[in-house]
Structure 1
Amino acid sequence: MLSVCIPVFNYNITPLVHKLMYQAKENNLDVEILIMDDGSEDRYKNTNRKLLSIPEVKYIELKKNLGSAAIRNRLAREATHNQILFLDSDSDIADDFIATYIPCLSADLSIIYGGRVHPKHLPSADKSLRWKVGKAKEDHSAALRSRVPNKSFMSNNFLVKKELFKTVRFDETIQRSGHEDTMFGMELEKKGIQIIHIDNPVVHIGLESNEEFIRKTEQRLETLKFLTKRNKDKKLMEKRIRILKYHYLLHKYKLSGLYKSLFRVFGKRLEKCLYAKNPSMLVYDMYKLGYYNNLD
């Protein structure tokens, strides 16, 4: 009745799978757990391969890294059941996680997003930036996310019917991680498909170090630049992606050149501030705008 699809890269997914299986059996739910490894290191593969002993688990190792968008499309093709639940591998779930989704399986709803939250307390000082960004920009209730439903979509925890997914898939031209969620939400919006938000969040426990997250942020900005160059619907992108609004204003008021010069001088200092135990979200946004603007 339910296919749980989990892309994994360099993460031990065993605890999550055991929790999912326990909850499925507790709720008498027919479930398959489909895990696809996207080129992890051997130590993670060796650990996750042990899950093959569970009859309901299908574990696949890819020979070539596909990336965040393409691997989700392939997982959906491999799924046996009509209802697909996508989860990120670095997630933890509440005891009633599966039970909360069960009423949605029979409802005539298109896409349901459960949400994401971050640990209540900072796990370690070297992960302060990812934790702070998550708390400030992602830990939102269903009521708040529903104000602009398609903008608030993330692919870490959502339920979708397989027939619908065939009509709106992730953009496989996005080969590196970054904004595949944004573009998917926009495609749904253009087709008139609204995302339903509920309060059934996973806890994001796989936080990157400050250094890793800054580099990943830069990668996402490079992907965004690629997408804006080839996307015809720039107005919707500017409407849905805040950094593009500010970038547009820099050009409108002829401040782009000045901001480029300032970022070249002060960019490293801004980055250094992001390693603080309590990094400023304003500085983070300034850094992102400066990095993106310099990609011109």
Structure 2
Amino acid sequence: MLSILVPIYNYNVYPLVVALHKQCTDCGIAFEILCQDDASNSNLNSFNEEVNTLSNCSFISLKKNLAHRENRNSLAAQAQFDYLLFIDGDSIIIDDHYIKKYIDNLLDFDVVYGGRLHPEKCPSNNQKLRWKYGKFVEDKASENRKKKPYLSLLFNNTVIKKACFNKVKFDTNRKKYGHDDTQLSYALSLLQCKVNHIENPVEHGDIDTNLVYLNKTKESLENLIALYEEEKIDVAFVKLIQLYHFLKSTKITFIISKIHSVFQHLLMKNLTGNHPNLFLFNWYRVGYLCAIDDKKINSF
């Protein structure tokens, strides 16, 4: 029936597994919960070892780092059941019927995404950028997600048929952070896999600090440009790439790059401060994309 796959890096996953184990047991389904720490050598793994005391559950800590894409692929390869539930180790289960909702909505679909929520209050000012972007941009009700089923798909809190996942998988040739979901969702769209969106969110627990998230954003934009240049996604699939493609074709990326270089320190001051502005964050992302293009031109 269901293989629950939990990639971890330096996090105590035991409370999450206990909650999932109880719900699966209550549903009376065949299940397994596989947890794999990606060689973090964390002290928290002493708690994670307790996962092995639960029936149908396992935790292992890798000796060699695989990176997050290969960690997920590795978990999927170990799974014995037909349906895979990918859930990040820092997720918080907020519904006592979480597993049942998935079981009730699997029929006739290859992929089912339950959504994600951020807490009502930001944990601290130093996490406000990630929290704001998550809460006001990424967190969407199922009815809104259904309007663009592939574009709204994230691979945390997602059930996918193993046979379907094996046709796409995560691209392990790409080492930088970001846009795994974009590439995988695009591949699923080409295969015309049936995607369902339901109201079954988990809460995002471990929210990045402002500077960490900004650096991750830069890395993810570099990945996005690479996907575009290698023609691994269609221009029309991502709005940000549509805009970048237009700016590039009209040859004004150079101008925006220069403006970005003048104002980037002020933008970073806002985005890593206590009151980050999402409009400025969007400008920063566009400016950084253009700066990447400008650097490539000047390198020749």
Query: TM-score normalized by structure 2?
Result: 0.93
Task: Report how many aligned residue pairs link the two structures.
Answer: 292
1:18-167 residue pairs with structure 2 within 5 A? 18-93=18-93, 94-105=95-106, 107-167=107-167
* CA distances 1:137-192 after superposition (whole Å, capped 9, x unpaired): 11101110111100111000111111222222222222232111100000011111
Tell me the equivalent position of 1:176. Answer: 176
- Segments of structure 2 that go 5 or more residues without pairing to the other structure are 294-300
Tell me the equivalent position of 1:277. Answer: 274
Q: Is the contact made by 1:132 and 1:278 (CA closer than 8 Å) also made in structure 2? A: no
Tell me the equivalent position of 2:9. Answer: 9
Q: Is the contact made by 1:70 and 1:175 (CA closer than 8 Å) also made in structure 2? A: no
Deviation of residue 126 (structure 1)? 0.7
Q: Is the contact made by 2:38 and 2:64 (CA closer than 8 Å) also made in structure 1? A: yes
* CA distances 1:215-259 after superposition (whole Å, capped 9, x unpaired): 1111111222222222255xx2x2222221221232233321111
Moved over 6 A (4+): none
1:281-292 residue pairs with structure 2 within 5 A? 281-292=278-289
Task: Report the identity percentage.
Answer: 34
Q: Is the contact made by 1:49 and 1:59 (CA closer than 8 Å) also made in structure 2? A: yes
Q: Is the contact made by 2:2 and 2:82 (CA closer than 8 Å) also made in structure 1? A: yes
* CA distances 1:80-118 after superposition (whole Å, capped 9, x unpaired): 11111110111011211112112134x131110111110
Equivalent residue in structure 2 for 1:253, among 250, 255, 258: 250
Distance 2:82 2:267 in 1: 48
The SS at the match of 2:139 is coil
Between 1:45-54 and 1:83-92, the stretch displaced more is: 45-54
Q: Is the contact made by 1:150 and 1:189 (CA closer than 8 Å) also made in structure 2? A: yes
The SS at the match of 2:89 is coil
Query: TM-score normalized by structure 1?
Result: 0.94
Distance 1:249 1:83 in 2: 40
Q: CA RMSD in A?
A: 1.5
Q: Is the contact made by 2:183 and 2:232 (CA closer than 8 Å) also made in structure 1? A: no
Distance 2:70 2:176 in 1: 10
- Segments of structure 1 that go 5 or more residues without pairing to the other structure are none
Query: 1:219 and 1:52, CA in 2 relative to 1: closer, same or farther beyond 3 A?
Result: same
Deviation of residue 42 (structure 1)? 2.5
* CA distances 1:32-86 after superposition (whole Å, capped 9, x unpaired): 1001111213212222122112232121222222222222211111001111111
Distance 1:153 1:278 in 2: 29
Distance 2:81 2:3 in 1: 5
